């Protein structure tokens, strides 16, 4: 069924121009497509900055000694990391690549937290040499490696990641807090890790960390991780991770940031020392709703069902085929309404189906189609399947656009090839 509220899924402040054309960040999406081509990801910079400020205010109003660390893996491009740093957020970096992009963005390494269940010597050395503030210890091997890498006379701050034993109501691939998860240590092992770090001459145990999962629409499940972590003792830092879900579809009803903060802080009071520092690590709920992706319709095939094919797909949005995530869509110049169709991508996979049974108003070849809520993990998992060129990212604000990530060139597809030695010209 059509939903006249489709505009509500686009970044806050999105509107229709006088002729009914969809506008994001004060910019007509047809004009953005004309300038930058399609597919193109459009990020409302004003909405993104507002979200960062909303998170900081929500937690600091309730727990003054709290910090918000953007989970870079949700959108790990330098422009996003730079924006988050400008807004006063710390950065959660998962691996060496996100350290490199964060440093390139000018972020303060002392305000970074390094994650990962399989950190290499190279990544840990990169973190230590650049002064990354906190390394989240996921296993005993992390401790062994750090004790080899950190030079005598220095102290590397660490958090111990704890499995809270919370079964999250989300896709199995993004549930992380249950017993048997590949992430973190069970409480008994976490106690041993804490004591090892406390005895170390080069490491410092600043606190503990936990994470329940991603795209959780029930804040109570996130708050359930507080007690198991608090039971491990008194620390300076308690990092409760991220995981707050977002509204991808008309039926999704995630808690507000304010309600999420209230539930987390209420649970922490009495369990966590009043002078402790609380950290949360939003990723998806920080960036998802601030962006949309614009495609051009290339084919309309009418048969047993109507297939509307676009010039992108699983190369720029793996969330559908990987996690079964539902998205909505609309035509840019005919917003809302229409009969249900199946929107498919350009890739040679039957699984490259972006949205099934989404209402579109009489789509034809050449139409522009916009998919909202693509600001989390779509950029992260973009790829060159079938030789697709990864798509550009454009910031829009107050009617102005700026390119922050360019589209791949054909040369980019060949850039990593190494010619065979002795090959004749």
CATH number of domain containing 244: 3.20.20.10
Identify whether 424 is part of a domain: no
Q: Residue 63's Cα: distance from chain center in Å?
A: 24
On whether residue 425 sits in a domain, the answer given is no
188 inside domain? yes
Strand bridging mode 368-372 / 330-331: antiparallel
Range of the domain at 326: 6-44+289-411
Strands 203-209 and 156-161: parallel
- Going by the DSSP 8-state scheme, the letter that residue 237 receives in this structure is E
59 & 165 share domain? yes
Given this model, what pLDDT does residue 1 score? 32
Summarised one tens digit per residue, pLDDT across range 180-214 is: 778 899 999 999 999 999 999 999 999 999 998 87
- Domain assignment present for residue 416? The answer is no
**Rounded-to-integer distance, Cα 231 and Cα 221, Å:** 17
pLDDT at 178 over 70: no
Assess if residue 419 is contained within a domain. Answer: no
Look up 77 and say whether it is catalytic: no
What is the percentage of the chain residues whose pLDDT exceeds 90? 88
Task: Read off the pLDDT of residues 73-116 as tens digits, 9 standing for 90 and up.
Answer: 999 999 999 999 999 999 999 999 999 999 999 999 999 999 99
Which pTM was predicted?
0.95
More reliable by pLDDT, 107 or 171 = 107
Asked whether 4 and 337 are in contact (CB, 8 A), the reply is yes
Catalytic entry in 77, 158, 205, 348: 348
Q: Find where tokens 């998170």 sit.
A: 55
DSSP code of 180? Answer: T
Q: How far is Cα 92 from Cα 192, in angstroms, rounded to an integer?
A: 25
What would the DSSP string read from start to end of 116-130? Answer: -SS--HHHHHHHHHT
pLDDT of residue 180: 73
Are 19 and 56 part of one and the same domain? Answer: no
Comparing CA positions, the residue from 337, 333, 329, 336 lying closest to residue 312 is 329
190 in any annotated domain: yes
What CATH code is carried by the domain that includes residue 328? 2.40.37.10
User: Is the same domain home to 136 and 274?
Assistant: yes
The per-residue pLDDT for range 30-73, each reduced to its tens digit, is 999 999 999 999 999 999 999 999 999 999 999 999 999 999 99
List the beta bridge partners of residue 85: none
Are residues 225 and 212 in contact, defined by beta-carbon separation less than 8 angstroms?
yes
Query: Residue 151 is encoded by which pair of tokens?
Result: 């030079």
Name the 3-class secondary structure at 94: strand
Whether 417 maps to a domain, the answer reads no
Is residue 254 domain-shared with residue 131, that is, in the same domain? yes
For residues 237 and 355, state if they share a domain: no
187 and 249 in a single domain? The answer is yes
Pairing of strands 339-344, 306-310: parallel
Nearest of 154, 124, 151 to residue 137 by alpha carbon: 124
Q: Which of 262, 287, 312 represents a domain boundary (last residue)? A: 287
């Amino acid at each position: 069924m059509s939903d006249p509220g489709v505009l509500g899924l686009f970044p806050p402040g999105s509107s229709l121009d006088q002729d009914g054309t969809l506008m994001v960040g004060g910019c007509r999406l047809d004009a953005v497509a004309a300038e930058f081509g399609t597919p193109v990801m459009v990020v409302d910079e004003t909405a993104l900055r507002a979200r960062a400020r909303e998170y900081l205010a929500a937690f600091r109003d309730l727990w003054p000694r709290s910090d918000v660390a953007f989970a870079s893996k949700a959108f790990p491009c330098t422009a996003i990391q730079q924006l988050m740093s400008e807004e006063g957020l710390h950065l959660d970096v998962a691996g060496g690549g996100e350290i490199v992009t964060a440093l390139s963005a000018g972020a303060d390494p002392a305000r970074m937290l390094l994650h990962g269940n399989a950190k290499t010597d190279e990544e840990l050395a990169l973190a230590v040499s650049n002064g990354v503030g906190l390394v989240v210890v996921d296993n005993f091997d992390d401790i062994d490696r750090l004790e080899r890498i950190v030079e005598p006379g220095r102290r590397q701050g660490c958090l111990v990641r704890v499995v809270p034993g919370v079964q999250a109501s989300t896709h199995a691939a993004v549930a992380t807090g249950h017993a048997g998860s590949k992430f973190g240590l069970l409480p008994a092992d976490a106690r041993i890790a804490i004591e090892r770090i406390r005895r170390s001459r080069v490491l410092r145990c600043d606190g503990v960390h936990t994470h329940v999962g991603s795209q959780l629409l029930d804040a109570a499940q996130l708050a359930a991780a507080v007690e198991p972590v608090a039971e491990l003792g008194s620390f300076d830092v308690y990092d409760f991770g991220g995981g707050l879900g977002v509204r991808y579809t008309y039926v999704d009803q995630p808690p507000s940031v304010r309600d999420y903060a209230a539930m987390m802080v209420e649970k922490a009071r009495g369990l966590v020392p009043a002078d402790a520092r609380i950290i949360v690590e939003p990723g998806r709920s920080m960036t998802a709703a601030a962006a949309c992706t614009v495609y051009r319709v290339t084919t309309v095939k009418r048969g047993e069902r109507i297939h509307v094919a676009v010039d992108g797909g699983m190369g720029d949005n793996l969330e559908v085929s990987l996690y079964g995530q539902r998205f909505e869509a609309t035509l840019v110049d005919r917003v809302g309404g229409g009969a249900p169709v199946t929107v498919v991508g350009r890739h040679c996979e039957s699984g490259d189906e972006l949205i099934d049974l989404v209402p579109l108003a009489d789509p034809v070849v050449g139409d522009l189609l916009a998919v909202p809520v693509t600001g989390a993990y779509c950029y992260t998992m973009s790829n060159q399947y079938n030789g697709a060129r990864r798509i550009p990212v454009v910031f829009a604000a107050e009617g102005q656009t700026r390119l922050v990530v360019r589209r791949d060139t054909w040369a980019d597809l060949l850039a990593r090839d190494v010619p065979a030695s002795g090959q004749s010209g």
